[in-house]
Amino acid sequence: MLRSVRDSIDRNYRFAVLFASVALLLIGLGGQFALVVMLKSISQDFDWPRTVPSTAYALSFIGGGFGAIAMGAWMDRSRRMFGPSLIGAVMIGSGAIFASTATSQWEFYVAFGVMMGLLGVASLYAPLSANVTHWFDRRRGLAIGIVSSGQSLGGIILPPIFRYLNDTIGWRETFFWYGVFALATMVPLSFILMRRTPAAEAGRGETYVRSGETPRRQVEAATGPVLSTPVLQVALSLGVIGCCVAMAIPHAHVVAYATDIGYPAVRAAEVLSLMLAASLVTRLLVFGPVVERFGGLPTLLMFSAAQVIGLCLFMAIDSLWTFYVVAVLFGLGWGGIGPSNIAIAREYMPVHEVGRRYAQIDLFAGLGMALGGWVGGYAFDLTGGYTYAFAIGIAFNITNLTIIAMLVQMTRAGRLRPATA
């Protein structure tokens, strides 16, 4: 009887972990979406080139990437997310309020790079995603997709709100009230994540061995050297730079791009929301069944290919409805990339190191997002348009496809073998 009650509590708590993780991602990434929506307003208010807010956007990813390594290692050691998520909640809310008072470039860079990035966003995507893999043995792919959907939900819900507030009360007041809202909601949500992982509470460690019973020397004699975890991590890190440079250019500049080619701000915000709505469909309905059927690497290859097709089509837009269609296609592709990398880390890397190892990969994702966001602004300032920026993104995405295709081939040849815990 007591055991059945405990099992019921544990099962319900797993759903609480999912809910809190989704909500923290939805709210916590709002500052980045706000900057995307209000990029032109901020540039015009200060008479800055678009490179300045684009750099602030980039710094939020760079800071978040470096900070996620520490947050992920903290989560691995403590076996719970409470500490990292609480720090992140406080710094995201405080950073947004500080951004609302900014009067110079360096204040913007501190707000987004240090407060909202290094100490804020760092506690979100990578650590929360790694944490949820410890709570679900069955349907882990679905759980990863659900947590990742928090980012997409934020992109659906928040940009229209930010656009409305920017038009009615201005960008400063929008950042201020977003900061207040983040503090009021994210701090309480962090307390839901106080429990340690099931393995830690049961007093058992999580071990790491290669799948199968064949000794490593026999495997290498038959197939050649087996790819080590550090080498795989380097390959994934290089690959994720390519996909994220391509991902960030529409992500950061699609609203500005849409208004530049003649569409009103309300339609431009809808394009961003549609792109993120498509990514939500991928994460909630498509990713789980696909990754459980094919595995992380083939899934990543498929979604990366869909993303580059969408990116190519951004340069061929000739009407609003084609803009909507391309945004949906692009969103369907990039929506599966982040969850695929999480699944790959959990599938191939030491289980007790998933937090810090995925965070290290996510650092390079952040660097790619930062570079892509900056390239978009710099290319616009140089050329007055986004054509060259899209072409650069396509080249980076093709590089990513090449790396992932090589890893898929190594898996089929037996030189890259999943881990079992």
Beta bridge partners of 419: 210
- Token look-up 């992500």 returns 251
pTM of the model: 0.77
Distance CA 87, CA 144 (A): 23
Cα torsion through 384, 389, 390, 391, rounded to 10: 110
Of 365, 303, 312, residue with least CA distance to 332: 303
Residue 227's nearest CA partner among 414, 23, 36, 25 is 414
What are the strands, taking DSSP E only, across 218-296?
Answer: none
Indicate the residue type of 105: Q
Q: Which CATH superfamily is domain 8-420 in?
A: MFS general substrate transporter like domains (1.20.1250.20)
Question: What DSSP element (H or E) covers 419?
Answer: strand 419-420
Residue 219's pLDDT is 40
Dihedral through CA 352, CA 247, CA 398, CA 310, nearest 10?
Answer: 130
- Measured in Å, how far apart are the chain's first and last C-alpha atoms? 29
Question: Tell me, what's the pLDDT at 394?
Answer: 94
Per-residue pLDDT of the chain in tens (421 residues, 90 and over written 9)? 445 544 555 667 888 999 999 999 999 987 788 888 888 889 899 988 888 888 888 888 888 888 988 898 888 888 889 999 999 999 999 999 999 999 999 999 999 999 999 999 898 888 898 888 888 877 888 899 899 888 878 877 888 899 899 999 999 999 999 999 999 999 999 999 998 887 666 655 444 333 333 444 434 434 445 567 788 888 999 999 999 999 989 888 888 888 888 888 888 878 888 888 898 899 989 998 999 889 899 999 999 999 999 999 988 887 888 899 999 999 999 899 989 998 898 888 887 778 888 888 888 987 888 788 888 888 888 988 888 999 999 999 999 999 999 999 988 888 787 765 4
Domain ranges of the chain: 8-420
The CA–CA distances, whole Å, from 409 to 31, 78, 294, 335 equal: 39, 37, 13, 24
Q: Give the type of residue at 56.
A: A
> What 3-state class would DSSP assign to 209?
strand
> Could you write out the DSSP letters of every residue in 134-146?
TT-STTHHHHHHH
Structure tokens at 81: 């997310």
The amino acid occupying position 87 is I
